[in-house]
Chains A and B, each alone.
Chain A
Amino acid sequence: MTSGAVSHPNAASHNEDLVPRYSFGERANHWIGAFAYIYLLITGLAFWSPYLFWLAVIVGGGPTARFWHPWLGLVFTASLCWTFKEWHRDMQITEDDRRWGKAIPYYIENDDDKLPPQGRFNYGQKLFFWGIFYSVILLLLSGIVLWETDLVPWDLRFLRYTAVLIHVSVALITIGLFLIHVYMSAILEEGSFGSMIHGYVTRAWAWTFHRTWYYEVTGRSRPKQ
């Protein structure tokens, strides 16, 4: 039986039916972005602290790391632009999201059935997306100044002073977002990591974590109260 045509929507036997979650393009783009971010993280941390400078050595040495860091920044930006184009509608914050945000202690304590229903992406994922989105705008602008620091005229040196502060501060924010993102998707929530590899989740997964999306993707209407 295919996943779209189920006689009984709530039958336990359909728990393991697969529903498509991420297209091939979405997955490929995600891993291009992930590769770029990890490279930026490794080289960025090397430039951040003398105690981590060895990270630059393992990716080819300081000068090589300095050369590629800005280019990979552009790759990450391009990946994010495509993500924005594909996902920005799914990332709009809804009334359910606001209620979900207020009920977040239940989410932290893995009490997911006490949470308002969520669409394709939950409120946390949406905040992650917009956090990265606005961070990248700031990182890109400050990064351009740092990329060609020597071309900034002396009279505009405040640009350099501002850029170093913005670049490291915002990079730290993205590290926080990155840690939470990797933890939640690769470690905490079972089934999430696989969905970004092969593109599918089970019906039970969708029902548990993204109830609104479950009804959308299975073509069923939600029972009225």
Chain B
Amino acid sequence: MSQASTEIVRMSGHAGTVPGAGLNREFQVCKLVDTTTCIGCKACEVACLEWNGYTFSETTFDNSYQTMPETAWNYWNLIKFNEHERDDGTMMLLMRKDQCMHCEDPGCLEACPADAAIVQYANGIVDFQEAHCIGCGYCITGCPFNIPKFSPAAHKVFKCTLCNDRVSVGLEPACIKTCPTGCLHFGTKSEMKELAETRAQQLRSQSGFPDAGVYDPSGVGGTHVIYVLHDAKNPELYGGLPKDPHIPWSVKLWKGPLKWLGNLAIVGGVVGLAWHYMRFGPKKEEEIKPDDGRQP
């Protein structure tokens, strides 16, 4: 997992080849969040702030445990609480650690126009390179998880890095390091997937959660942060986790067919006008002639 920074496989807004593309990796990293063993202690929120050097932000109180409504440019990791009433009338406190999902097919990167402002490393981490960020906010439009956040002071966008700086020197992310219940795991994607499936199976067969399952949405090519949910059929219950996330179709249309159609139209227009000039030449004024009023 080390030396990730030499192995960029995708870059935003980049013309030409990408250094590191095609490099053969043994494994891709993954964070596993088991929502069924999370106690909502928010130690991961604090660890994230500590490691990344942000001070604690002002919190909002909304009669729940919620620290603030959503992540912020300087608050990348947030537990979402939902007091969920089940069909039998009993209450469940659903808690989900919200952060960047590190999509295999990242909408932020797709939408970004700035050369190398967003990169995807060979180990799966999607990282913002703020030095190259122009602050346009297109990544905010491209993300199906509401993760990139704009800093009005810096005019740049920030989000969870999956502790790329730690991972690249062989350490686990700060949130994983601090989790007291062990509901957070970090390893290779295949290991985490296996662990998650085992846990989901356990929940289905032993804990009375017939709909327990793993959240690794295929609409964005899978993610490098995956969840175990008691009710995988209703991920929205967990603080609005989208059921079938995908890059917005308008972003795909814009970056796909529209781009080629537009380029063709611009080039075709210039060629057409040049052709017209060569074929018909300039329009010249004519001498004033006695007007018999016969002009049509």
Q: Give the interface of A toward B (CB within 8 A).
A: 9-12, 14-15, 46-51, 53, 56, 61-63, 65-67, 99, 103, 108-110, 112-117, 146, 149-150, 154, 157, 160-162, 164-165, 168-169, 172, 175-176, 179-180, 183, 187-191, 202-205, 207-209, 211, 222-225
Nearest to A180 among chain B residues (CB) is: B273
Residue of A164, A172, A187, A209 most packed against chain B (CB within 10 A)? A164
* Contact between chains at B113 and A48 (CB < 8 Å): yes
Q: Give the interface of B toward A (CB within 8 A).
A: 13-15, 70, 111, 113-115, 132-138, 140-141, 146, 149-150, 152, 155, 157, 248-251, 253-254, 258-259, 262-263, 265-266, 269-270, 273, 276-277, 280-296
* Interface class of chain B by DSSP: loop
Write 8 A-B pairs (CB below 8 A) sorted by A numbering. Answer: A61-B134, A110-B280, A149-B150, A150-B157, A164-B250, A175-B269, A179-B266, A225-B292
* Contact between chains at B70 and A168 (CB < 8 Å): no
Chain B residues in 8 Å Cβ range of A150:
137, 140, 149-150, 152, 157
Q: Of A9, A14, A176, A202, which contacts B269 at CB under 8 A?
A: A176
Nearest to B114 among chain A residues (CB) is: A62
* Contact between chains at A188 and B135 (CB < 8 Å): no
* Interface class of chain A by DSSP: helix
Nearest to B291 among chain A residues (CB) is: A223
State A162–B248 Cα separation when bound (angstroms).
Answer: 10
Q: Of B265, B273, B292, which contacts A183 at CB under 8 A?
A: B273
* Contact between chains at B285 and A205 (CB < 8 Å): yes
* Contact between chains at A172 and B266 (CB < 8 Å): yes
Residue of B266, B273, B289, B291 most packed against chain A (CB within 10 A)? B291
Asked if A10 meets B288 with Cβ closer than 8 Å, knowing A63-B155, A176-B269, A225-B294, the reply is yes
Tell me the smallest distance from the CB of B45 to a CB of chain A, in Å.
20
* Contact between chains at A108 and B280 (CB < 8 Å): yes
State A176–B268 Cα separation when bound (angstroms).
Answer: 10
State A62–B13 Cα separation when bound (angstroms).
Answer: 12
State A183–B282 Cα separation when bound (angstroms).
Answer: 10
State A104–B281 Cα separation when bound (angstroms).
Answer: 16
* Contact between chains at A51 and B273 (CB < 8 Å): no
* Contact between chains at A203 and B15 (CB < 8 Å): no
* Contact between chains at B285 and A191 (CB < 8 Å): yes
Q: Of A47, A183, A204, which contacts B136 at CB under 8 A?
A: A47
State A15–B288 Cα separation when bound (angstroms).
Answer: 6
Chain A residues in 8 Å Cβ range of B70:
154
* Contact between chains at B135 and A204 (CB < 8 Å): no
State A125–B35 Cα separation when bound (angstroms).
Answer: 64
Q: Of A115, A149, A172, which contacts B265 at CB under 8 A?
A: A172
Residue of B146, B253, B277, B284 most packed against chain A (CB within 10 A)? B284
Chain A residues in 8 Å Cβ range of B286:
112-113, 204, 207-208
Asked if A48 meets B259 with Cβ closer than 8 Å, knowing A116-B295, A202-B285, A222-B293, the reply is yes
Asked if A211 meets B113 with Cβ closer than 8 Å, knowing A164-B138, A187-B277, the reply is no
Chain A residues in 8 Å Cβ range of B155:
63, 66-67
Q: Of B14, B251, B270, B284, which contacts A179 at CB under 8 A?
A: B270
